[in-house]
């Protein structure tokens, strides 16, 4: 495992799912980890499990709140060296029944939230000559899915943002990459399965089978597999990797 004991990492959406697993594994690698989200309870519960994890409330769609988050976190734990922009939101509906409110909220959290997460720290990383920016996107940033058009559009935008920033920072020692998980065993997957059951009348087992069938390996991705990819991108031997969208999907996007 990489030794990240000299690093300070920020993980948005860090209280549950993929974000919580990434935060835990970064902390186990020695990093000081600041996790943020909108709900205090899961953040505080995770922070209680490891002395390297520190929780703060912040909404990634609020520019003032994100700047305050950086000010407070860097005051207490030093400059942020690693950013994992993980906060996400998805709604499901046919395009014709997708409201402007749903469209705007989805882009605000997934795309604008990624922008506001990275903006306060990128110049400081470049000045110090080292940094890792990792967007947790989705296979929805690499292909299309029916009934989640706003989410697909937002995640494609995240991949574009990743590639643009990678070019801007290529000579600074900062790398910018995206991780694109397929369907992963998280609370978000559970919610998707419940939606399928409610809207199609399928059983829970049938709904799981329908989603699993999209993965050539015939299984869901595990959060630890996504977190291991993040750890590798934070390591000393990944410095030449930037501007990439790494699919962790069991071959779904081959």
Give the mean pLDDT per block of 10 residues along the chain (254 residues). Answer: 90 96 98 97 97 98 98 97 96 94 98 98 97 98 96 98 98 98 88 82 88 94 97 95 98 94
Instruction: Return the closest-CA partner of residue 118 out of 173, 175, 172.
Output: 175
Q: What tokens appear for 204 in the block?
A: 């829970």
70, 145, 147, 151: the active-site residue = 151
What is the bridge-based pairing of β-strands 32-37 and 53-57?
A: parallel
pLDDT at 2: 80
Residue 44, SS3 per DSSP: helix
List beta partners, residue 111: none
pLDDT at 201: 85
pLDDT at 25: 97
pLDDT at 123: 96
Main-chain dihedrals φ then ψ at residue 188, nearest 5 degrees: -65, -40
CA distance 15 to 55: 8
pLDDT at 1: 53
72 contact partners, CB below 8 Å, separation of at least 6? 56
* Domain architecture of the chain: domains with CATH: 8-182+222-248 (3.40.50.720)
DSSP 8-class letter at 238:
G
pLDDT at 221: 95
Active site (annotated) includes residue 151: yes
């Amino acid at each position: 495992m990489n030794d990240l004991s000299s690093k300070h990492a920020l993980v948005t959406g860090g209280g549950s799912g993929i974000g919580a697993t990434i935060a835990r594994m970064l902390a186990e690698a020695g990093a000081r980890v600041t996790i943020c989200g909108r709900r205090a309870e899961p953040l505080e519960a995770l922070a209680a499990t490891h002395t390297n994890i520190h929780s703060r409330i912040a909404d990634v769609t609020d520019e003032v709140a994100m700047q305050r988050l950086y000010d407070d976190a860097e005051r207490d734990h030093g400059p942020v060296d690693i950013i994992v922009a993980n906060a996400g939101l998805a709604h499901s509906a046919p395009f014709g029944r997708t409201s402007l409110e749903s469209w705007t909220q989805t882009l605000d959290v997934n795309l604008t939230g990624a922008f506001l997460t990275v903006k306060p720290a990128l110049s400081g990383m470049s000045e110090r000559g080292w940094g890792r920016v990792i967007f947790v996107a989705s296979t929805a940033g690499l292909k299309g899915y029916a009934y989640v058009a706003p989410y697909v559009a937002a995640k494609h935008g995240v991949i574009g943002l990743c590639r643009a920033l990678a070019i801007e920072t290529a000579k600074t020692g900062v790398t910018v990459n995206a991780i694109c998980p397929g369907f992963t065993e998280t609370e978000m997957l559970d919610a998707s399965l419940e939606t399928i059951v409610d809207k199609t009348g399928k059983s829970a087992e049938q709904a799981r089978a329908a989603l699993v069938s999209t993965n050539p390996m015939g299984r869901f991705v595990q959060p630890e597999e996504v977190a291991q990819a993040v750890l590798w991108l934070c390591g000393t031997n990944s410095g030449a990797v930037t501007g990439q969208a790494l699919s962790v999907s069991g071959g779904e996007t081959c």
